[in-house]
Amino acid sequence: MLSFLDSLRNLDLLSILIRMVLACLCGALIGLERSAKNRPAGFRTHILVCMAATVAATTGLYLFLVMELPSDISRISGQVISGLGFIGAGTIVVTKKMSIKGLTTAAGLWTTGIIGLAIGSGYYEIAVVGTALVLLAETWFAILGGHIAKDPQYVLEILYNDKMSLDNVLRFCKDNRMAIINLQIKSLEDSEDAKYVAEVSLRGQSSSESLLSHIRQMPGIVSSMSL
């Protein structure tokens, strides 16, 4: 640790003010990036999370060192980490295409809270380095991740009249290394040709056209199309 910061690790008025200002700054820097991308948890939320975690960690130190109460100084911090999971869960949503959004924001909130705990404990160095790495992960690493090749994802609508037909389709997809992301099945009452309709979300290297051409030749399949 940096020796010139040792005087700021004590629980005096100057040290507490510096911790709160640093928590506000670190939370603001992370929150600005999230707000710029119109994420559900933005500027103010990250500031509040970081400052609240700092207050919790500082309070734990105060109760143990100043008040000399028989308290576990890590217990408050542990409860903060657990509580951050509930806040982060509120930013995660599942879209109609069964894709998950908000995981990065939830992880950023959780990390921001832990950075606040480090600030409240007087570990300024790791808090500053952690903030810089979070910003790096959410900006430059996001650009790098966008260039990573991913298997295409698409949704197929399959009309069939025999329950075994869908089992054959799913088995065919698995044999061709297709990941089945979601499956929805509905019964058709007013259709003469088909009894059931299934919407299958898939991800894999096979093209939807080649997959549909094989599915249409299977027994019991009335029709199939890509949505």
What does the domain layout of the chain look like in residue ranges? 3-146, 153-226
CA 168/CA 214 separation, integer angstroms? 11
Is the four-CA dihedral 78, 82, 87, 93 of positive or negative sign?
Answer: positive
Which residues are 180's β-sheet partners? Answer: 202
What pLDDT score does 96 carry? 61
Q: How far apart (Å, rounded) are the C-alpha atoms in residues 54 and 18? A: 11
Dmax (CA) for the chain in angstroms is: 82
- Cβ contact 22:127 at 8 Å: yes
Q: Where are the beta strands (DSSP E) in 18-112?
A: 93-94, 100-101
Check residue 18 and give its pLDDT. Answer: 92
Contacts of 57 (CB under 8 A, 6+ apart): 76, 77, 80, 116, 117, 118, 119, 120, 121
Distance CA 223, CA 227 (A): 13
The pLDDT assigned to 182 comes to 81
| Domain 153-226: CATH superfamily, name plus number | ACT domain (3.30.70.260)
> For 4, which DSSP code?
G
Taken in order 203, 101, 148, 129, the sign of the CA dihedral is negative
**CB 41 within 8 Å of CB 92:** no
Distance CA 184, CA 157 (A): 10
Under 8 Å between Cβ of 69 and 63? yes
Question: What is the rounded distance in angstroms from the CA atom of residue 7 to the CA atom of residue 5?
Answer: 6
Tell me the sheet residues that pair with 101: 93
Q: What is the pLDDT of residue 127?
A: 93
Alpha-carbon distances, residue 23 vs 54, 83, 114, 117 (angstroms): 7, 18, 11, 9
Contact in structure between 169 and 176 (CB atoms under 8 Å)? no
- Output the tens digit of pLDDT for each of the chain's 227 residues: 677 777 788 888 899 999 999 999 999 999 888 888 777 777 888 999 999 999 999 988 888 888 877 767 778 888 888 888 788 777 777 666 556 677 888 888 899 999 999 999 899 999 999 999 998 888 887 777 666 667 777 888 888 888 788 888 888 888 888 888 888 888 877 767 778 888 888 887 777 788 888 888 888 888 888 87
* Phi, psi of 51, deg, nearest 5: -70, -40
